[in-house]
Amino acid sequence: MIPFLTGFGAGLSLIVAIGAQNAFVLRQGLKREGVLPVVLMCLVSDAVLIFAGVGGIGALIQGAPVLLTVVRWLGVAFLLSYAVFAARRALRPGALKAADAPGKGTVWSAVLTAAAITWLNPHVYLDTLVLLGSLANTHGDPGKWLFGAGAATGSALWFPLIGYGARGLSSFFARPASWRILDGGVSLLMLTLAFFLATGH
């Protein structure tokens, strides 16, 4: 159980920090649009990456820096685009109430956005494939697989928590001003992440 608990703690410590993925899941939870498929996309993606790292893919990624460079600039472009869209939502009060546009966003568009935020973020590869993969392999076999299971379990608990837990804030976000603050903050977050990606931090 020690490798499992160690993996659980390591996985949670990496995903709990508010980032592009968490911000998107939180927003979908507040809007109550496509929460389940978005949550599933995020936790399945994390599990695939974690177990790929446990299986040794992280070593291959470290040996192919060109791949990370390509993904990095794709991620910068995507984050900048998302920042613009979030800023536009913050400036348009009529589009801020989820209840005003129940069918405006499709489930597929939400899932594709979640996939892009996850798979176009180089830090995801560094955190899951390289860092968690390296930590897992210090536990030997089969300990490394228990470590990976623990990390994946942390992800599986976290995303439903913020996706469905966001509903508790729905009364606060019933006001357009609250959505303006959220989307403005998301826009600034995406710009900040894009800057750090572009500068290699």
Which tens digit of pLDDT belongs to each residue from 101-132? 444 568 899 999 999 888 987 778 877 887 78
**Stronger pLDDT, 63 or 144, i.e. the higher one:** 144
DSSP summary character for residue 95: G
Is the pLDDT confidence value at 48 over 90?
yes
pLDDT at 148: 92
Instruction: Using the structure block, give the residue that is written with the tokens 């991620």.
Output: 75
Say which amino acid occupies 194.
A
pLDDT at 39: 95
**Which residue stretches of 92-126 are H helix?**
107-119, 122-125
The Cα-based distances of 120 to 21, 56, 74, 145, 171 in angstroms read: 11, 20, 6, 26, 33
Of the candidates 199, 185, 181, 178, the residue with the CA atom closest to the CA atom of residue 122: 199
Euclidean distance between CA atoms 38 and 99, whole angstroms: 19
CB 131 within 8 A of CB 14: yes
Euclidean distance between CA atoms 5 and 59, whole angstroms: 24
φ/ψ (deg, to 5) at 71: -65, -35
Single pTM value for the model: 0.71
Which tens digit of pLDDT belongs to each residue from 160-182? 998 998 877 767 766 777 778 87
